[in-house]
Structure 1
Amino acid sequence: MLPLIIFLLISPAICASNSVSPVGEALPRGAVLLIVDGLGSSYIYPEHTPYSIDGRVLDHAVLFNISDCARVLDIRASIPSTVPAHSTIFTGCSTADEIMVGMDNATIFDAARRSGYICIAIMQRGDFMSMLLKQDGVLYFENNSLSGDPTMGARAGLPEDVREIMEEWMHAYRFYSSSYPRYNRWGLDAATDVVRRLDRPFLLTVNIGGIDSAGHYRGFDEYIRAVRALDVGLGELVRACRERGVLLIVTADHGMSFTGSRGGHAGENYSNRLESLRIPLMAIGPGVDDVILGGKWSQADIAPTLLALLGIEDCLAISDGRSLPIRRTYSLRVELPRPGGVEVRRNGSVVAGDSGSTSYIFRGLERGVYDLYLAGGLRSIVICNDTTLDLRQTGSGVIPRWLLGALLILVINACGVFVIVRLLR
């Protein structure tokens, strides 16, 4: 029996190599990045209680139509002001400004366009020239004012079907511009129509500005009324995205704080308050898990998260953000110091494996604990985000089976010698 045990320990595992990595969900057909200007998460998250600057508890709004989504509880704007915040959202850089947005390979738009996406935008607030120049087509308001009609800008190669949709909504604005909630509804309805009609990969950025204006000029009562009025139009957009397999990310540039009848976010009395700094981050779509994510996160994390959900492996030039762990599946990269096999197991079952190389990427891994069999050894790893296990400098980090077998033989021989010596005595 002893020789059989020794043989099993020193021999390599006898099993078929599986070179097929796990398959995750289909990638989104497109994406909508909805930036609700001035929407603080303090006013829509049940976990937060909003206070006025003089200490009064303020009302909540409930958005019934965005549920079963990923939600980040505490994500904050670095600077609660529109242009810096938009610059951060688009670049993933916490110190970005509008000049940095104009750099090559700096924005989500650069990364998306290189991956075959059309980039279009509908901006009631937060547009600036370097951002506009990154779009294939855009509707925007001169001087960031909600008064007047939107202006359309387009690159020469904008597809005709996209141009037609944008021209229709440029002319439709006059039927909506009667109140702050109606301003917002125009942007939401336009986004819903784009999602339903476009059959090409697209990244649509939408900024709706009625809530910010209501807070600044009409005070808290009009502000919270405009927030509550989001629900119906947002519900239509959510439904369209679900039906069409489109990613939807809902966030804000900053929140809003209130004192008396005035609202603000960037002034001395407002900028350091949680009501101004905390913004929502909600996501639905293919590959998104319906998790509630704790911890403290940055507005700079939005850009890498969006690209990761689209399956775009692109390093933004100035980003200091990280992808939020709100996806259903993640990838594991394994780098070995020499060619060898890798087998990935979960709960004792083989999930994937391959051999003959020094570099592997296993995709579609759900979050959890996995056992990796490397060069005959075992290593456990927790997957809760895209993970790299680089063993090129440190070695495999495990004890190979041949070494275990050799050590066992030495131990057995030593024990045998000890027993023989005792018997001879």
Structure 2
Amino acid sequence: MSNDRVVLIVVDALRFDTACTHMGYMQHLVERNVAARYEVRSEVPSLSRPLYETILTGTPPIVHGVTSNYTIRLSTQQSLFHLARSNGKKTAAAAYYWVSELYNRAPFNFAEDRLQMDKDQAIENGIFYFEDHYPDSHLFSEAAWLLQHKQPDFLYIHPMNVDNDGHLFTADSKEYRNRVLAVDNLLSLFIPQCLEQGYEVVVTADHGMTADGNHGGNTIEDRHVPMFIISDQVKPEIVEGAVSQLQVAPLICRLLAIEPSIEMVPLLLKGM
């Protein structure tokens, strides 16, 4: 039975094909009928800030208006953080500072905004980093602290090292593939903690990464990312065919047992 508490993990720049070949722990959960695996087609442009907003509001760039990484302003939409707070739920995030700029304050104040605890904001408790090479291991430690000490109903986690190595070495590199192995290992340590505390877990990505060491375009390498769901409400199976990234936000609303915003599309995921 659902406890209406969700951890959403967005691994920046995690390609679908590399997730399938190099995430042994996540595939283990699929094979043991614990997790479902979906192939998600991102919105375009397949850039980070626009797709953070898409994932967290369930709206495409043409609606939410964040069409570039240089669009620095607060969101104009009802995000998952806003919806959770309006339903009396606690929110938290361990994420890149652009997430704070979308939902708490823009521009990010580097002297004041790294730690945001017990705030009357969309993200009630936030730990935000601002270096792309900030270690994923540190981030998951901070997420574990939030889980234990703040006990949020909705926790958003956003590691960046896969994206950073993709830009430095390209997706067709041992460094990129080894970084995917590394984040899978971190997930193997963190996800059991979430399950023990009664959370449902969703692991996905904003966009992919190309052999040119970039993203933003319309190729499968740019756009196709994984989504693993661990929930009693979702049948544990491999779902064939790509689904829209716009399904992520209404999915999280369903798992949190809250009404989606009027801008979100209907939830049509197979296996629900």
| TM-score > 0.5 by shorter chain | yes
User: 1:74 Cα shift?
Assistant: 4.2
Kindly state the Cα deviation for residue 37 of structure 1 after the two structures are TM-superposed. 0.7
Instruction: Looking at secondary structure, tell me which structure has more helix per residue.
Output: 2
Higher relative contact order (CA 8 A, sep 6+): 2
One-letter code aligned to 2:145 = D
Q: 1:241 aligns with which of 194, 198, 201?
A: 194
**Mapping of residues 229-378 of structure 1, within 5 Å:** 229-259=182-212, 263-266=213-216, 271-312=217-258, 314-320=259-265, 322-327=267-272
Cα RMSD for the two superposed structures: 3.1
Residues 44 and 218, structure 2, Cα contact 8 Å, conserved in 1: no
1:44 aligned partner: 19
| CA distance 1:43–1:114, change in 2 (3 Å) | same
Residues 61/320 of structure 1: CA separation in 2 closer, same or farther (3 Å cut): same
- Per the alignment, do residues 307 and 315 of structure 1 end up closer, same or farther by CA in structure 2, a change over 3 Å counting? closer
In structure 1, the partner of 2:115 is 152
In 2: Cα distance, 1:231 partner to 1:288 partner:
21
Aligned residue for 2:102, secondary structure, equals helix
Residues 1:204 and 2:167 aligned together: no
Aligned to 1:78: 44
Q: Is the 8 A contact 2:92 2:146 kept in 1?
A: no
Runs in 1 of length 4+ with deviation above 6 angstroms?
none
Return the index of the structure with the highest Cα Rg: 1
Which residue among 154, 159, 167 is the counterpart of 1:216? 167
Question: How many residues are paired up?
Answer: 254
Gaps of 5+ in 2: none
Instruction: Note the C-alpha offset of 1:298.
Output: 0.9
Does the alignment pair 1:97 with 2:49?
A: no
Unmatched 5+ residue regions in structure 1?
A: 1-24, 46-59, 135-139, 143-147, 328-425
Give identity over the alignment, percent: 22
Residues 251 and 279 of structure 1 are in contact (CA less than 8 Å); yes or no, is this contact kept in structure 2? yes
Please name the residue that 1:118 is paired with.
90
The residue aligned with 1:358 is none
In 2, Cα distance between equivalents of 1:189 and 1:255: 25
Q: Given residue 257 of structure 1, which amino acid in structure 2 is its aligned partner?
A: T
Contact 1:189 1:233 (C-alpha < 8 Å) held by counterparts: no
1:321–1:37 CA distance, 2 compared to 1 (3 A): farther
Q: SS state of the match for residue 228, structure 1?
A: helix
SS of the equivalent of 1:188 reads: helix
Residues 288-342 of structure 1 deviation map (CA, whole Å, 9 limit, x = unaligned): 3212222331111100011112221x13132235342343xxxxxxxxxxxxxxx
CA distance in 1, matches of 2:118, 2:146: 18
Return the alpha-carbon distance in structure 1 between the equivalents of residues 179 and 244 of structure 2. 26
Judge conservation of contact 1:82–1:254 (CA < 8 Å) in 2: yes
Separation in 2 of the partners of 1:93 and 1:291? 27
For 1:89 and 1:74, the matched residues in 2 are separated by 11
Distance 1:317 1:35, change over 3 A: same
* Partners of 1:156 and 1:132 in 2: CA distance: 9
| CA gap 1:207/1:306 in 2 versus in 1, 3 angstroms | same
Deviation, 1:157, is 4.8
Measure the CA separation in 1 of the matches of 2:200 and 2:118.
Answer: 24
Distance in 1 separating the partners of 2:98 and 2:15: 16
Where 2:22 maps in the other structure, the secondary structure is coil
Q: How does 1:22-33 map to 2 (within 5 A)?
A: 25-28=1-4, 30-33=5-8
- Deviation, structure 1 residue 198: 4.1
Length-normalised TM-score, structure 1:
0.53
Q: Which amino acid aligns with 1:189?
A: S
Q: Counterparts of 1:133 and 1:44 in 2: how far apart (Å)?
A: 33
**Are 2:93 and 2:143, in contact at CA under 8 Å, matched by a contact in 1?**
no
- Quote the Cα distance in structure 2 between the aligned partners of 1:90 and 1:102: 10
Matched letter for residue 230 of structure 2: I
**Alignment partner of 1:77: what SS?**
coil
Q: Conserved in 2, the CA contact under 8 Å of 1:300 and 1:320? A: yes
Give the match's secondary structure for 1:229.
Answer: helix
CA contact (8 A) 2:250 2:265 kept: no
Q: Are residues 196 and 310 of structure 1, via their aligned partners in 2, closer, same or farther at CA, if it must alter by over 3 Å?
A: same
Q: 2:99 is paired with a residue of what secondary structure? A: coil
